[in-house]
Structure 1
Amino acid sequence: MPIERNFSLTLDHEELMKVLGQNFSQLLKKPKINQIFKDILSILPQLYEPQLIWDLFPVRGLTPTGFLLENGIKIGGGPVKEVMKEASIALLGICTIGSKFDEEINKMSQSGNNFGAVILDSIASFLVDQVRETFFSQTQLKIKREGKFNSIPLCPGESDWDVSDHKFFFDLLHPEQIGVSLKESMLMIPMKSLSFMIGVGNEPFRLDHKRRCDFCSLQPRCRYSQINNGRNLCT
């Protein structure tokens, strides 16, 4: 199972400000808050440990909500079938930026630096999504070079696809190899971990120009979405 670790630590200031909220730029004018923010940015390289594990799984057929894979596992829910019905292969992956972020957020909270904990939590969410989006972009180019087509990606918990399918992700990918475990609630540890699936096929996917945001349960309150402005940070 391939494991990717070569992800750069990059923070686009404009996009980060969108994640942190409209009023955060004004808050940064306060010296104390500005210093907390600078202190957080300075420790990010010590915390950032990006890893992503993925693999390809042939599709045997469709189920009422998703796919029957060749190994007999049924996976999918919510909009999966609608979005990926043309797929002959399912690409599954899990990524994380490591446990040090969880540890530092807890440390800040316990020391009374609740504002710093909230800011670091938001930045960590931004970074793990950046890992996932970087992989999406690179994978899309590879699939295109091979003369194949890909669906938009979908993620348990970000649509009507329930997180209970995480048990199948863990059965198939064994992400303990990258330090990710699963709680009984189906939430992943470290907290800044994400799962995803992409359909791969020999024919174009008929989505009528729909994007991932069109299927996301976080709309319209998601900070990552720019769908109303004609842009989308998580295509």
Structure 2
Amino acid sequence: MKEPIIWEIPIPEITLDEVFQAEGADYSQRPPHPRTVKLHRKIMEEAASLVRPTAIWIEVDVTGIGAGELFLEDGYKFSSNLLPNVARTAEKMLLISTTIGTAIEERLTEYKEAGKMSELYALDACATAFVAKAGTTAMSQVEDAYHRVGLKTTFPMGPGHSYWKGLEDMQVIFHFLQAERIGLHLNDSNLIIPTKSVAMVMGVGRDLPDFKGKTHCNFCNLQTTCPLSQAV
């Protein structure tokens, strides 16, 4: 099996508006109370001191497609309504996972145990914004590397969305990634631990279907209403 590539991502900048969006707060009609702003700015600074963005990725050969299936090397496959359509002419799939580490989750536990729910809520939103930004940064760097050598990439997609409901495919991603190398594993429900982590895939090829301007959010039932989509 090929060796995955690991790299540390510079801590991205997040904005107060992105944190509010990750919370699902709507201040379009009235501004937030100054105490709310003060608390969130304090928690944003704390979050930035805790996050350790790290990514791991690997390139996997595509061996064929079927109805709602995309076949990979070594007899593995993905099952998704969207993926075989978007990546039907892809030569390879890029599998990538990004995490911001465990320190921020440990602090979330501390706030919960202390009953500091305002701090807990704000820090959780900051973590969501950070992991979304870190994931976007990692994906962009990988995309740029392939574009520089004349290859095209699809938009990123991931299990757990309405277009790819089977979380079992996370097992396939983690098999190839060997994600334990950056401290990631899957629980019994195939959710990533630590939870402030994401995993996505992209197709790579010389001649890909044209979905210019589209993202995976365009094919998700939630559209742009989920916290992760609003945080990027």
Query: TM-score surpassing 0.5?
Result: yes
| Structure-to-structure mapping, 1:129-148, within 5 angstroms | 129-148=132-151
Partner of 2:47: 44
1:199 aligns with 2:203: yes
One-letter amino acid of the counterpart of residue 31, structure 2: Q
The counterpart of 2:187, out of the listed 178, 183, 187, is: 183
Partner of 2:108: 105
Question: Are 1:105 and 1:120, in contact at CA under 8 Å, matched by a contact in 2?
Answer: yes
1:26 aligns with 2:31: yes
Give CA deviations for 1:154-176 in whole Å, capped at 9, x if unaligned: 01113331211111112111111
Partner of 2:11: 8
Partner of 2:220: 216
Change (3 A) 1:220 1:126: closer
Change (3 A) 1:139 1:219: same
Larger relative contact order, structure 1 or 2 (CA cutoff 8 Å, min sep 6): 2
- State the Cα RMSD in Å: 2.2
One-letter amino acid of the counterpart of residue 26, structure 1: P
- Number of paired residues? 226
Q: TM-score, normalised by structure 1?
A: 0.87
| SS of residue in 2 equivalent to 1:90 | strand
| SS of residue in 2 equivalent to 1:124 | helix
Question: Are 1:92 and 1:198, in contact at CA under 8 Å, matched by a contact in 2?
Answer: yes
Change (3 A) 1:11 1:182: same
Question: Are 1:54 and 1:93, in contact at CA under 8 Å, matched by a contact in 2?
Answer: yes
How far the C-alpha of 1:131 sits from its partner, in A, is 0.9
Change (3 A) 1:13 1:148: same
| Structure-to-structure mapping, 1:55-70, within 5 angstroms | 55-70=58-73
Q: What is the CA–CA distance in structure 2 between the aligned matches of 1:197 and 1:106, rounded to whole Å?
A: 30
Question: Are 1:9 and 1:48, in contact at CA under 8 Å, matched by a contact in 2?
Answer: no
Q: TM-score, normalised by structure 2?
A: 0.88
1:155 aligns with 2:165: no
Q: What is the CA–CA distance in structure 1 between the aligned matches of 2:27 and 2:113, rounded to whole Å?
A: 25
Partner of 1:229: none
Give CA deviations for 1:183-217 in whole Å, capped at 9, x if unaligned: 01111110101010000011132336533211123
Stretch of structure 1 that moved more, 217-226 or 207-216: 217-226
